[in-house]
Structure 1
Amino acid sequence: MPHLRSRRRLALAVPVVLSLTASLGFLPSVASAAPPTARAARAADGPTLAYLVNTGTDRATVASVRKAIAAAGGSVVVTYDRIGVFVVHSANPDFGRRIRAVRGVQSAGASRTAPLGAAGTTDEGAVQVLSRAEAAKLTKSAAAGQEPLEADQWDLRAIGADKAARIDPGSRRVTVGVIDTGVDDTHPDIAPNFSASQSANCVSGKADTTYGAWRPVDADHYHGTHVAGEIAAARNGIGVAGVAPGVKVASITVAQPDANQLFYPESVVCAFVFAADHGIEVTNNSYYVDPWQYNCMDDPDQRAIVDAVDRAQLYAQRKGTLNVAAAGNSGDDLDSDALVDASSPDDSTPTTRTVDPHECFDVPTQLPGVVTVSATGVTGAKSYYSSYGKGVVDVAAPGGDKFRIPDTPSRNGRILSTLPNDQYGFLQGTSMASPHVAAVAALLKSAHPHATPAQLRALLKAEADNPGCPSAPYDGDGDGVVDATCVGGKRVNGFYGFGIVNALRAVK
């Protein structure tokens, strides 16, 4: 499935546009660029790359940087003036160095290592599609008041979402934006709650609101549809139910349309700004921004990625949007001193590097104010693959675990939800845990319509159930080897943060 990684908490700083810049040691450039020579201005003897150029937000700075971009051989794709971010294409191999020397530019760098249009590599997980025969069997197993396939949705019962729906399924005034591979809004379980007016395709870095542009390009781009169903599949006598079946769901597509489905930073910047400007109350982010698993601040390109995406997500927070993200499927302790990144850059040739998680950041999950979610299985224990870390994970939620078998008709420990082309299937991952939290946040927003993102984060934590660290050594996959060590106590710890979210408490 699309890449999922983790985050560490950064201190939330103000003002919004410069908060991460200040906290991570960004210093605005004060040197003026030397006047470009005609030869340098025409330089275009390299592959065309995408760049992010981050500046001050005053009109004079934006205008002068725009001229400097052209002089350095760049063409502006889109400008997000309110946050001081330019998305630029350039074939000048010296573009990044030259633009970083321009007065008013605070950070700038390439957003990818491969030329535009080139494909990278990815580790795509397989979905288990529910067959017609299995679906028929499930339908016969449904109890009174359940959706036809709900007998297999152990995850709803684990957080009280089935009971919560009888009290308050959520408000249609609340929308969760699925920033992902696209959502098949024609699916009968999604169509009743889909908001086309709040949906777009942001792949290019500029929002395309053409009708249907938000849909997945093919059935292999199933991830976003699965996520959307977990959040808001309608209780309409068809298929499955979502955690918040009364709220609306929107699709903001950011995955590249090829088989690798990479999520580049300019697409994600566009998505956060679009969500903020279109009244989306909660976003779900079940991915990490490609091509870097971690973005290290001593690299100018990676620094620019962190800066740009942070400006966008903080802008969304300021406009009232809560951003929820998956912690990652690497099983790493994100509060450790060092992590091994063997997959970056994933759009060209990866190399193995050891990174300091205090200096190299997962984006967007490691950004200020983002709710970080670890995954649990049917027993409530941390899923074997889920990343963790005290002070990193905020809350936990069902994400599935193939080693923890539920007492359900299919006996499948993964999460059942919607797939494109009117299908259903099982997936596991922190990708699946994050939408459970986004949906509970939507229930909280429905009950407390004036709550700010910070207040919603606090409510998620306050109403969670924390099982505490396990008393025995943790062996998630049952191979006899200790896989992780939980640090902390009953109130907050590295496996669950403040605990597993509770939908029933959210509506009471």
Structure 2
Amino acid sequence: MRRVASGLTALAVVVAIGACSVGTPETATHTGTPTGPPAGTDTGTRSATREGPEYLVFYTEGGQSRAQQAVERAGGTTLANDAKLGYLTTTGGGATFAEKAGADGSIVGVSPDRSIGFAELGRAAPATRRTGGAKARAGTFPDARSFTSSGSGEPLAGRQWDMRMIGADRANAKVPGSRQVLVGVIDTGVDGKHPDIAPNFNRELSRNFVTDKPKDETGETLDGPCEVSSCKDPVDEDDDGHGTHVASTIAAPINGIGIAGVAPGVQIVNIRAGQDSGFFFLKPSLDALTYAGDIGVDVVNMSYYVDPWLFNCTANKADSRKEQLEQAAIITGMQRALDYARQRGVTLVSALGNGSTDLGHPKIDKESPGYPVGEKKTRQVDNSCLNVPAESNGVISVAGLGPSGRKAIYSDYGVEQADVSAPGGDALDGNGAKATRSILGAAPEQVLRAAGRIDAKGEPKGADVVKDCARGTCAYYQYLDGTSMAAPHATGVAAILISRFGKPGKAGLELAPATVEDLLYKTATPKACPTPRQYVYKAYGQDMTQLCEGDQADNGFFGHGVVDAWKAATVEP
């Protein structure tokens, strides 16, 4: 289980947000019916006017009244109260609002109006990537470039070394997953029209909790021009591609097209919290988790970290008091939302991170604050600082593996932090660099066109993109690597376990998150630290040494082991 920063859960926190409206449902066949107002709907009284930036004011248990008084004394106005997570939405107060409100004992954090999140982006593995890397050790899987369509399974199954590594290719036939299981993808969106996602995409339950921002506060391009007049994309659109790749790893159907996911029979619910540009606001993340809990989602995949702080420290001497309070806001707000969802039956799965960092012994953070651009600074950090949500309480965090089975060079690690491991891809896991050592997943055609990865005729320009036209329907796929790609493998295995052991509930099948976690660990294949424990990765002409701590049952590189879909499909109760 993840650590909880002591003394924060009972404190009031303020964090600025941008305006965010609720996604509009569309008609589709589904199991599970939304009850009550959509997540993110305010439950309190709204002021008729808004002055300046808005803020979220998290208050102590029973402290709503005192928090409202503090806001008023600071010159602000309360717009709404979210009783589920215990925070006020406020506006006004002018340039000194943060300092005045933060002086009250019931408030521990005031943040300026800013985006505070960034996707844990999967990194493309193009053929032109620089060469260099560790030599393959007893490689279990040949380079995927040599594969052709296999004699059985989906047309591109031969390229899915990741599914064979965890036994998903065999589990598909035995336990493909139940249609009563809902998997929420909290990400940049999902291309619900992609031929290899559409059959399992639940459009009616899907929501978009973000509004595109063409430019940031400095006038620099952020999301770019809005695709629709409202700047709020439809629930079946993904203009980044990250969420679509994740969704296909979880549940691409067995339909004679492209690939198959870990659990090809379950339903995907798009619960979008990320901008087109990959940045995440806190408010959409809170709304997404609350919504997942309200509608009966069984498991959510979170392949991102809440930013602008890669590491959130509440008392770092390198930070101003204002910055410390902002980081306290991120820790507190997200923990409340995660707790809310978990208490309502949502199993929480997160990517561990791509910084090649021992999260149990972090030393330097050069990436924060990551937004707006140009504000980064170098600061010393320690184990009291948290990566959110990977290190939040109640979250199953997943480290990434390369095709040889080693911990991927980029994957973060740590005894307290790595719960399980799964294929995330590693283009450098072998001689030179090869795109096909990464994870193949669905990609929106418009995203590939915009990135220049396919030509005017729709043909791929490099080995990182694959076009499949089986059954006369063409679909695109892309190789990506990252812990973003590892997490959905674990999410898919969790969906298999819920399909097998879940009991009928309000929206389909239900299985307590603690039980899912125990079963996920029980069915994982234990993997010991490498010998020697100080493993040396060779990349780009440099050596990178990473120390694996712990025993075979639980260690910093592989956690409780490599997730195993076949064991999940066959384990006895």
Shorter chain as denominator, the TM-score bin is 0.7 to 0.9
What is the aligned-residue identity percentage?
Answer: 35
In 2, are the aligned partners of 1:121 and 1:347 still within 8 Å (CA)?
Answer: no
Answering whether residue 529 of structure 2 is matched by residue 469 of structure 1, we say: yes
Q: Aligned residue for 2:303?
A: 286
Q: Which amino acid aligns with 1:425?
A: Q
In 1, are the aligned partners of 2:424 and 2:485 still within 8 Å (CA)?
Answer: yes
Instruction: Please show how residues 56-71 of structure 1 align to structure 2 within 5 Å.
Output: 56=60, 58=62, 61-62=63-64, 65-66=67-68, 69=71
Give, in whole Å, the separation in 2 of the partners of 1:141 and 1:128. Answer: 20
In 2, are the aligned partners of 1:121 and 1:348 still within 8 Å (CA)?
Answer: no
2:502 to 449, 456, 464: 449
Cα 1:446–1:77 shift into 2, 3 Å: farther
Q: Aligned residue for 1:412?
A: 436
In 2, are the aligned partners of 1:198 and 1:280 still within 8 Å (CA)?
Answer: no
1:441 is displaced (CA, Å) by: 0.7
2:59 to 55, 62, 80: 55
In 1, are the aligned partners of 2:211 and 2:233 still within 8 Å (CA)?
Answer: no
Instruction: Please show how residues 63-462 of structure 1 align to structure 2 within 5 Å.
Output: 65-66=67-68, 69=71, 72-74=74-76, 79-90=81-92, 92-102=94-104, 105-110=106-111, 113=114, 127=124, 141-203=148-210, 213-216=234-237, 218=239, 221-257=240-276, 260-298=277-315, 299-336=324-361, 338-404=363-429, 412-421=436-445, 422-450=475-503, 451-462=511-522
CA displacement 1:114-135 (0-9 Å, x = unmatched): 7x9xxx99997664699xxxxx
Q: Which amino acid aligns with 1:505?
A: K
The farther-off stretch of 470-479 and 264-273 is 470-479
In 1, are the aligned partners of 2:250 and 2:261 still within 8 Å (CA)?
Answer: yes
Give, in whole Å, the separation in 2 of the partners of 1:160 and 1:43. Answer: 54
1:384 is displaced (CA, Å) by: 0.6
Cα 1:89–1:138 shift into 2, 3 Å: farther
Give, in whole Å, the separation in 1 of the partners of 2:174 and 2:312. Answer: 43
Cα 1:296–1:51 shift into 2, 3 Å: farther
Q: Which amino acid aligns with 1:271?
A: A
The DSSP-based 3-state class of the residue aligned with 1:388 is coil
* CA RMSD in angstroms, aligned pairs only: 3.3
In 2, are the aligned partners of 1:399 and 1:433 still within 8 Å (CA)?
Answer: yes
Cα 1:483–1:272 shift into 2, 3 Å: same
Q: Which amino acid aligns with 1:83?
A: L
1:337 is displaced (CA, Å) by: 5.3
CA displacement 1:54-107 (0-9 Å, x = unmatched): 01455xx4466456546645455654211202344446222223333457x454
Cα 1:315–1:26 shift into 2, 3 Å: closer
Give, in whole Å, the separation in 1 of the partners of 2:486 and 2:119. Answer: 21
Cα 1:377–1:350 shift into 2, 3 Å: same
Q: Which amino acid aligns with 1:291?
A: P
Give, in whole Å, the separation in 2 of the partners of 1:217 and 1:163. Answer: 30
Q: Aligned residue for 1:502?
A: 564
Give, in whole Å, the separation in 2 of the partners of 1:441 and 1:123. Answer: 21
1:458 is displaced (CA, Å) by: 1.4
Cα 1:87–1:254 shift into 2, 3 Å: farther
In 1, are the aligned partners of 2:397 and 2:418 still within 8 Å (CA)?
Answer: yes
TM-score where L is the length of structure 2: 0.72
In 1, are the aligned partners of 2:298 and 2:347 still within 8 Å (CA)?
Answer: yes
Structure 1's unaligned 5+ residue stretches are: 1-7, 12-19, 30-41, 131-136
In 2, are the aligned partners of 1:122 and 1:346 still within 8 Å (CA)?
Answer: no
1:393 is displaced (CA, Å) by: 0.5
In 1, are the aligned partners of 2:249 and 2:261 still within 8 Å (CA)?
Answer: yes
The DSSP-based 3-state class of the residue aligned with 2:388 is coil
The farther-off stretch of 74-83 and 158-167 is 74-83
Give, in whole Å, the separation in 2 of the partners of 1:366 and 1:233. Answer: 29
Cα 1:143–1:313 shift into 2, 3 Å: same
The DSSP-based 3-state class of the residue aligned with 2:536 is coil
In 2, are the aligned partners of 1:52 and 1:305 still within 8 Å (CA)?
Answer: no
The farther-off stretch of 61-70 and 91-100 is 61-70
Cα 1:125–1:498 shift into 2, 3 Å: closer
The DSSP-based 3-state class of the residue aligned with 1:360 is coil
TM-score where L is the length of structure 1: 0.81
Cα 1:411–1:183 shift into 2, 3 Å: closer
In 1, are the aligned partners of 2:119 and 2:187 still within 8 Å (CA)?
Answer: no
Answering whether residue 553 of structure 2 is matched by residue 491 of structure 1, we say: yes
In 2, are the aligned partners of 1:57 and 1:81 still within 8 Å (CA)?
Answer: no
1:142 is displaced (CA, Å) by: 2.1
Q: Aligned residue for 1:35?
A: none
1:252 is displaced (CA, Å) by: 1.2
1:241 is displaced (CA, Å) by: 0.7
Structure 2's unaligned 5+ residue stretches are: 13-48, 128-143, 213-230, 316-323, 446-474, 504-510
Give, in whole Å, the separation in 1 of the partners of 2:388 and 2:250. Answer: 22
In 2, are the aligned partners of 1:139 and 1:148 still within 8 Å (CA)?
Answer: no
Q: Which amino acid aligns with 1:455?
A: T
The DSSP-based 3-state class of the residue aligned with 1:504 is helix
Cα 1:78–1:292 shift into 2, 3 Å: farther
Cα 1:28–1:411 shift into 2, 3 Å: closer
The farther-off stretch of 464-473 and 498-507 is 464-473
The farther-off stretch of 476-485 and 294-303 is 476-485
